Structures are given as structure tokens and as C-alpha cells.
Structure 1
């Protein structure tokens, strides 16, 4: 499309109306749609995009006004994800954390012109100039709003309008994000007793509340910020993260028993296309007590929980740091206490107990 001439600075009423609508957004998706449409009215452009980028993992999510449709994303998202670091604004933001409104060529940043990203993404879409502003984001993730134009570029008034909006974009983003997080956490913790841990692709904890850390510690698990989730008890969680395909919609995983020295938790993973990922933890409702009531030792309860999670004897040995022969002895004891003679029956019985089924 052909953009209009550089507009005058909008009056305060128009800006405040956009700010009010952004702050009142029900969720981040609504915020992004309101922000992109509103910015495009104030700074005429080919497109305005809200972007969540994870350059290290080569993943990106974008919401664009006007919406180009699913076919466009199938065509252009792969080259953008592969070559996003060709964009000097992305490199600069990741390296410095600079939140100013910046465009290609500003402050000696250089341009994307002539790069692979330009040839495969920007040039086919007629984008020859870009302004962007960075929003708060977790470590390793870049969240930004970009305004795209053709060769006419951006004048001083365009930059002034976008600069006037910048603090309001950041404030509204934080407000909506906090409201959404509080609603999710309050509902989850209050209604179902879950504790929430945010982790990166490698299973390293990005954020965990003091209450969650204390609760997990009672079960012998360390989920403090910066800690790598233990490969033993949380091997199932890490396997979900490793197997997740970011090109597919994220779905909540099945519960995974997490055997700790002081009992068993269950963990559910909700992966994210760009990260961080959400791990939900809560005590198994009565399951560990039912296993112990059968006369199993704490170590035998751990072995039983790992068996129910699908681990082999060798995997159980590695995860619990014991010899395979010791695992076999524990399994013999577990089978005997359960009154079963083969693995499938044992798994079915243990899962029933962990899910709150009958003990007899």
C-alpha cells in the first residue's frame, strides 16, 4: 500500500484513548492487537508488528496489523526465524538492552539491506525502513513492536509520535502482563494447589517464587532461580521440553510423577513457542502415602513412581544414582507388595494409587 504523508503530532486525547485501551486489554494478545492497530493509525505504515523472539532457539512469534493471514506466516516465518539476527535492531537490543525508538541506520547501527533476511523477507514484502521499540521480556527473549515502511522512511514527526508512545507501550504491557500472570497464578494455586516454575529450553529455572522454592525443598527438589532442573526426579519434565516442536501448538503435558526423598510430586509442563516454559508442581494427592501404606520404603516408593512414569530399569538407576542390580531388588519388592508379576500390571497398579485409586 502507499502510505500517506507524514502526519501531524496527534493531540493528547487520541494518545490517551489508545493508552486507555491498551491498559484495559484482557490479555497480551489483545494488548498486541490494540497497540499495533493504534500505532498504525498514528504512524501510517505498511504494517506494524508485535514480536516475541528467541534468537538462540531460532523461534519467533508475531502478531501483525494488517493480518497477512496463515499462508503468509507459512511462507515467511521460516526465513525470518533462520536469519533474524541479520536485523541490526535485534542485534543491538540483545547486546545493549537499549529501549529507545530506533530505526535502521540510526546511531551507526547499519541496515538490513543486502542481507539474506532482506532478500528472503523484507524485500519481497516491500519493507525498506523500520522503527522499533523494545518491551520488557524474560532473559533470552526479545519483545518488540516494529513499524514498517517502504523507501520513504520515517520523518521527525513519525519518530516523535512513536517516542511519545514508548513509555505508555511499556507501562501498558507491564500492567496487562502482571494482571494476566496474577490471574493465572491465583487461579492455579488457589484452585488446584499448583506451584509455578518458569524454565528455559535447557530446563534451567528462570523464575520461581520463594514459596515455590520452599515447597519443592520439602520434597528434596531445588527449583531456585538459575538452577538446572535435576535430571533424576525431573527427567520426565526435561524430556517434554526436549521433545517439544515449537512449530506445533503448545499443549499441556500429562502429569509426571516426581519422586523426591520426602515424597512424590506431580509435574505438568506447558511449553511455549518462544519461551520461557511453565512447569506446574504439586503434591500427588495421597499417592505417596498409599504406596508407603503398602509397606514400601521411601526408596522403593521412588522406584515405583519412576516405573509408573515409563522409565526403564537402567533409566531408574541413572536417575536415582543407584546400581541397576539395586533397582532390580527394589522392583522385586515393589512387585511383591503390589501382588503382581509383570511390569504392565505394576505400572497400572502404581498409577492407580498415585491417582488416588483404591489400595486394596
Structure 2
């Protein structure tokens, strides 16, 4: 689905808010609130899941009503393994965005205890889900809940597909700046539980920087556009909504050095503003959006 120029402008606004997060819990709150405002859904949530330690910490929008966790939490914990994406979550895979729907190929899910005890009472008939692993061995699960009155569709998937690498980049940026996550630390894995595998890395011989698999594709596309690895990293951070001071703190360099890199980014990409850098990054990573991202509202 082709998004509109206004969609991309709204995505940039969400990313700018997320980049202002004080810590990873604040990040989760801002992600949920931003997506809930951006998409006409029943609810949005950003959740840290430790599948091995059986720990879930969620920041939903709108917030859970009083007594909600006590009422529905036990059922979710007991039957979570029945979720259509559970095996991929346990494996620590990067997922999505993918969706399940009881009105489509996943109709059998409607007969599970998890659906009847958790999703059905809350009116959820479909979800669009994005999952990415963290360095702590947990996973961040971002989900859009869809109901009969908010059926969701291609736009939700298109928005999440566009924003996914930038949300993951923002999480890593906030995580670095905040130090230890204020969310409860994951408990030790049970004896015999499989250890998480290190993410593959790629090295750019021009400057020796390593890039983990989460951003490998975006980096390669930006390097193909003429940026060095460091410039690609900074361009991705700008597209994630990060300010110069945040980029400097995250990378351990001075704000002046960041500005010099940004001057090179502007010259290479042929743009003159941070918004235009962000739009160009989205266009490079999502070439189907080329026409929309040239819209004046994104080139200011």
C-alpha cells in the first residue's frame, strides 16, 4: 500500500517524540501513544518480553483500566504459548510486521483458550505485530490491536513496515543513552535453556565500524547511496528523530563532529534539512515511497 505524504509527516512526528525518551520505559510509553494516535486502532502496546524468564512488562495506549491485569494477566501467562507468533518470539527472531486474524487464515486461533480468555473479551480480532530482540536477551513486541469497529488493514502494516527499522534504531539509541534499562532485569535463564545467538555483523572496510543484523540492510542501502558507515549510522539516528546532542552522546563523539558528518550527509544526499534527511532515509529503505517523500511537507 502507498502511504500519503501526511502519513510520513505523522511518522516523523512520532519518531521525534520517541527520540526524546528518557529511558526505555518512557520509550515504550511514547511508542504506544504515538502509534495509537497515528492509527485508528482499538489499542497499541510496546512490551518487553523475556520468554525464558516468563516476564512481561507492557506500556499500552490507552492505559490498562483498574483491575485489568489481575483479570486477564493470568490467562495470558497460562496460555501464551498458543499465540500464533509464540515460537518465533521464543526463538528471539526479528518479526514483521506480521499479522494474524481470526477472520482469515488464523481462524483456528479463535478456538484456543488464549483467544477465548484474553483476546475475545477485549474485542480483539486481529493484530499487526512487530518484534525485535534486545541486547539483554529479551524482545520488544510492538502490536496494533484491531477490533470489529477498528478492523485495521494494509495501512497499519505499511506504517509499521516503514517505521520498524527506525523504532528499533531509536530503542538502541535510548538504551545507550540511559544505561541500564529501568524495566525489571531479566532473570537468569533456566538450566538447559538455549542461549541467545550473537547477531551477525558486517564490517565496512572504509572505517572498520561494525553493524549488527538489525540495521544491516538499511546501512547497505545508505552506503550504496554514497554514505560511509558512520554517516549512515548518523542518518538513521536523524531519521529516528534524534537530536545532535543525543547522537553525540550515543556515539561518544562531540556535537561538532556530528554536525560535520551531517554536513557531509546533506551534501551526499542533496538535501538541506533534518526532515529531508529523514525522508531520504525512508525513501532509500522503502523505494516504493519515492514519490510521496518528495512532497514539500517532508522537504522543509
CA contact (8 A) 1:136 1:170 kept: no
User: 2:132 aligns to what?
Assistant: 135
User: 2:19 aligns to what?
Assistant: 23
**Which is worse superposed, 74-83 or 61-70?**
61-70
- Structure 1: state its 5+ residue gaps: 1-6, 185-196, 208-360
Report which of the two has the higher share of helix.
2
User: 2:118 aligns to what?
Assistant: 121
**Which is worse superposed, 54-63 or 72-81?**
54-63
Q: How far does residue 109 in structure 1 lie from its aligned partner after superposition?
A: 7.1
Whole-Å separation in 1 of the counterparts to 2:109 and 2:48: 19
**Equivalent residue of 1:35, what SS?**
helix
Larger RCO of the pair (alpha carbons < 8 Å, separation 6+):
2
Q: Deviations over 1:178-200 (max 9, x none)?
A: 1111699xxxxxxxxxxxx9861
Whole-Å separation in 2 of the counterparts to 1:68 and 1:183: 22
How does the TM-score come out when normalised to structure 1? 0.46
- Structure 2: state its 5+ residue gaps: 197-300
| RMSD over equivalenced CA pairs, Å | 3.3
**Equivalent residue of 1:52, what SS?**
strand
2:77 pairs with 81, 106, 109, which one? 81
User: 1:319 aligns to what?
Assistant: none
How does the TM-score come out when normalised to structure 2? 0.55
Distance 1:182 1:116, change over 3 A: closer
CA contact (8 A) 2:18 2:30 kept: yes
2:142 pairs with 140, 145, 149, which one? 145
User: Pairwise mapping of residues 245-256 of structure 1 onto structure 2 (< 5 A)?
Assistant: none
Q: How far does residue 65 in structure 1 lie from its aligned partner after superposition?
A: 0.5
User: Pairwise mapping of residues 1-360 of structure 1 onto structure 2 (< 5 A)?
Assistant: 10-95=6-91, 97-104=93-100, 112-138=109-135, 141-151=138-148, 153-181=151-179, 200-202=188-190
Q: How far does residue 9 in structure 1 lie from its aligned partner after superposition?
A: 6.5
Distance 1:112 1:96, change over 3 A: farther
Distance 1:94 1:110, change over 3 A: farther
Distance 1:154 1:136, change over 3 A: same
Whole-Å separation in 1 of the counterparts to 2:10 and 2:147: 26
Q: How far does residue 96 in structure 1 lie from its aligned partner after superposition?
A: 6.6
Whole-Å separation in 2 of the counterparts to 1:183 and 1:140: 12
Q: Which has the larger radius of gyration?
A: 1
Distance 1:28 1:139, change over 3 A: closer
Distance 1:12 1:33, change over 3 A: same
